[in-house]
Structure 1
Amino acid sequence: MDSKDLLKRVKEDNVKFLSLQFTDVLGAVKSVDMPIRHLEDVLKDGAWFDGSSVEGFARIQESDMRLKVDPDTYVVLPWSSPDSRRARVFCDIYTPAGEPFEGDPRGALKRILAKIAERGWKFNIGPEPEFFLFKGDVTTNGVHPVPHDLGGYFDFSSFDEAVVVRTALMDALDQMGLDVEVGHHEVALGQHEIDFRFADALKAADNVLTLKYTVKAIAAQHGLVASFMPKPVHGINGSGMHCHQSLFDTKTGNNLFFDAKDEAKLSPLAYSFIAGQLEHARALAGVVAPTVNSYKRLVPGYEAPVYIGWAQQNRSALIRIPRYTEGRDKAVRAELRFPDPSSNPYLAFTAMLAAALDGVDKKMTPPKALNNINLYHLNKEERTKMGVSELPGSLA
């Protein structure tokens, strides 16, 4: 979609207000709202803002920055009133000189994707963000979050409010153009997951932010509060954002991870990709699990990965290779299991790809697969003998 198409679309959709959105370094969504009559000027000149007031952007003496609309990210917000219909676009950030701002998280992802595009590759990601729904207002000081239900993994009841909320959520996401595959109750009380089909990394990161924004809006309509904290409640499972990854050939559309002759159906490229992420896992943790609360999730006993290794099907490993189904070559992938939804998806996906490419460029080989081994049941001496190290226990 170009600027001309966008102007036509907002008129057809009877949009009255437009939110220009971007993220700070921490992944918080920032928004500049404007009446739609100013869109043509913004498409031409951009929208200026104070970069020194945004976390991680600029100092006060160099604060002027400009938002440039990405028309392809245009969606109407389904929950907005027909009388004051609102839409949203994501924006890229530019300096006063008209250059892309290097501190823009979305821009960082676009740059590394441009580099692999020169190789004829596309980085696909299928994220699985988990979240909690809580009763009432958990923002008031001293109020403890109470999960809205007592359900468990895949539980269903025709009277379950979660089914109503998830249905409304999936309907809204569908209207916004996200290809939702499944929605279901997760393991912990009040915990849920919405999965959407894999996409190129930029689209996937945009989708994660759209999902988080939408979940909170729909939950509020039902008197609930949504939380994407990795570990909001002690003693039960936390929320992760498992990321299913693959590289595709941009010309042929073939999955570059697939090798029919290999026992695990993985190509040499896939093995080096995995090796790079394992090699840099401890450093990567600071980006994909970036908060103090992240490390309350990454502890043994709650299905969160703690030990650095890879395996076929084994969910106790840091990287899991899902079971191969005959004829589904494009589904061969590597699932990175320690990212969580508190991360900035643009920076998380950038760091994940950078670590993997280091493995590819250096032709690294991963250690032996930890198949059929529950890593949580091994003691430290056994893990040391196997060469299995641990993720950091904190940000320190």
Structure 2
Amino acid sequence: MTQKEIKQAVNDHPAHKVKLAITDIDGILRGKVVHKDKFMSVLDGGFGFCNVVFGWDAVDTAYDNAKYTGWHTGYPDADAQLDINTFRQIPWEENLPFFLGDFVNESGEGLAVCPRSLLKKVKQEALDAGYVPQFSQEFEWFNFAETPETLKEKSFTNIEPLTPGMFGYSLLRSSLNSPFFNDLFDLLLQFDVPLEGLHTETGPGVYEAAILYGDILEAADRAVLFKTGAKEIAYQHGIMATFMAKPNQQLPGCSGHIHQSLWDSHQQNNLFYDESAENAMSSVMQSYVAGQLHCLPHILPMYAPTINSYKRLVEGAWAPTTLTWGTDNRTTALRVLAGGKKSTRLETRVPGSDVNPYLALAAALASGLYGIKNKLKLDQPKTVGNGYEDDQYGVLPRNLWEASQAMKTSELAEELFGVDFVDHFVRTREWEWRQYAQTVTDWEVKRYFEVI
């Protein structure tokens, strides 16, 4: 649709309001509903949005270590701009018009701490180099027969899974909750978040969805809207969905795998594919993979941003722990899928479902481009067999503090994403670690209360 057609569609809509949203540093949608007249006035000129969304954490507690904003700045408005190309209608809210936006600085350039602006910047670097990045993300997540009220009453203990037992790829289990299952597929399609596939995963009440491939910015928009959309659709059915990386110690965690390839400027040729090369991997793809392996330890918090992320990155739980790559190997950090001209791609398996998609996709593309730009050779042999045992090329940082300190001192991270972004992002991760470190957990009380 053209801008004129979109304006007309909003103007003709029976509702007198429009929903607007941006994404904070944790990947959480923050937004508001505005009158049609207000929407029309800000569509071209932008609008102010309180910059506290980059000054507090996931539970709205103000950072005490942020430089970008805080009590010392008075939490002023930041300049935000709507992206008219993100126009959608929310089918579970009577087709209410919806738009995404991002933040800009005084010069009209992308704000350094804005995740969507960062991805747009990295995407432009790829386009300037002659590469069109095509991406998609897939998510696993747990569903519970609970509501926000029952969770609070139970203090988040003894929560009831949507379905019992372990039953991956089960047509039987999906039929048990077919109204919810079908609404996910059908309503998300109407919301312009098309799913390539949806199925049950191994674990009680666990689903997995793969989102259709596309332009990297559109892929990230779809991923962000998928997570919120799945939660809102779940609400309609009396269900709670969670995208925690590891909700249960006894079960595998939830992934947010990233699939990616680079195409030529006409989008006719997949530049990762070379029929004559070993594993059908072109030299471009080999350098891209080498770049991701090289950069991973420097930027891990962009793939694993929470305390809980690292509970998933453990041996034998379908998540990687080593700096490895392999062909169709689900125990390695990077899984090369060497198919045909259209399907050859890289799957980055490190991210969990708790990621901010804008940051995770930016990290994947930027590190791959780094490998191409610096002509890195994929000298590291592919892992055949158990990637958990192949630790000779390094292992991933073990927790958020360790990963954040590696990023904090990394000149490479600053080269990829800029000093201002790295400084702000690392400060938010250090804050997250401090909140966790000072909390007395149930595990500690049960372990030490009587015997120490």
Q: What is the TM-score normalised by the length of structure 2?
A: 0.80
Shift of 1:205: 0.5
Q: Which residues of 2 match residues 1-396 of structure 1 at below 5 A?
A: 1-55=1-55, 58-59=69-70, 60-61=73-74, 63-81=76-94, 85-96=95-106, 98-137=108-147, 139-140=151-152, 142-144=155-157, 145-150=159-164, 151-157=166-172, 160-324=175-339, 328-376=340-388, 378=389, 383=390, 387-396=392-401
Relative distance call for 1:100 and 1:243 in structure 2 (3 A) is closer
| Structure 1 counterpart of 2:406 | none
Q: Tell me the SS of whatever aligns to 1:330.
A: coil
More helix by share: 2
Q: Which amino acid aligns with 1:24?
A: D
Q: Which amino acid aligns with 2:210?
A: D
Q: Tell me the SS of whatever aligns to 1:320.
A: strand
Shift of 1:13: 4.1
Note if contact 2:320-2:333 (Cα within 8 Å) is conserved in structure 1: yes
Note if contact 1:241-1:339 (Cα within 8 Å) is conserved in structure 2: yes
Relative distance call for 1:254 and 1:157 in structure 2 (3 A) is same
Shift of 1:179: 2.7
Q: Distance in 1 between matches of 2:156 and 2:357?
A: 29
* Percent identity (aligned): 29
Q: Deviations over 1:283-313 (max 9, x none)?
A: 2321111101000001012111111111111
Note if contact 2:142-2:243 (Cα within 8 Å) is conserved in structure 1: yes
Q: Which amino acid aligns with 2:10?
A: V
Relative distance call for 1:157 and 1:255 in structure 2 (3 A) is same
Note if contact 1:134-1:148 (Cα within 8 Å) is conserved in structure 2: yes
Q: Distance in 2 between matches of 1:38 and 1:391?
A: 48
Aligned residues: 383
Q: Distance in 2 between matches of 1:99 and 1:263?
A: 42
What CA RMSD, in Å, does the superposition of the two structures yield over aligned residues? 2.0
Note if contact 1:308-1:317 (Cα within 8 Å) is conserved in structure 2: yes
Shift of 1:210: 1.0
Q: Deviations over 1:106-131 (max 9, x none)?
A: 11111111111112211111211111
Note if contact 2:43-2:82 (Cα within 8 Å) is conserved in structure 1: yes
Gaps of 5+ in 1: none
Shift of 1:251: 2.1
Q: Distance in 2 between matches of 1:270 and 1:181?
A: 24
Q: Tell me the SS of whatever aligns to 2:275.
A: coil
Gaps of 5+ in 2: 56-65, 402-452
Q: Distance in 2 between matches of 1:53 and 1:318?
A: 32
Note if contact 1:284-1:352 (Cα within 8 Å) is conserved in structure 2: no
Q: Tell me the SS of whatever aligns to 2:342.
A: helix
Note if contact 1:304-1:316 (Cα within 8 Å) is conserved in structure 2: yes
Q: Which moved more, 1:150-159 or 1:200-209?
A: 150-159
Relative distance call for 1:169 and 1:372 in structure 2 (3 A) is same
Q: What is the TM-score normalised by the length of structure 1?
A: 0.91
Q: Which moved more, 1:336-345 or 1:225-234?
A: 336-345
Q: Distance in 1 between matches of 2:220 and 2:14?
A: 27
Shift of 1:329: 0.6
Note if contact 1:64-1:95 (Cα within 8 Å) is conserved in structure 2: no
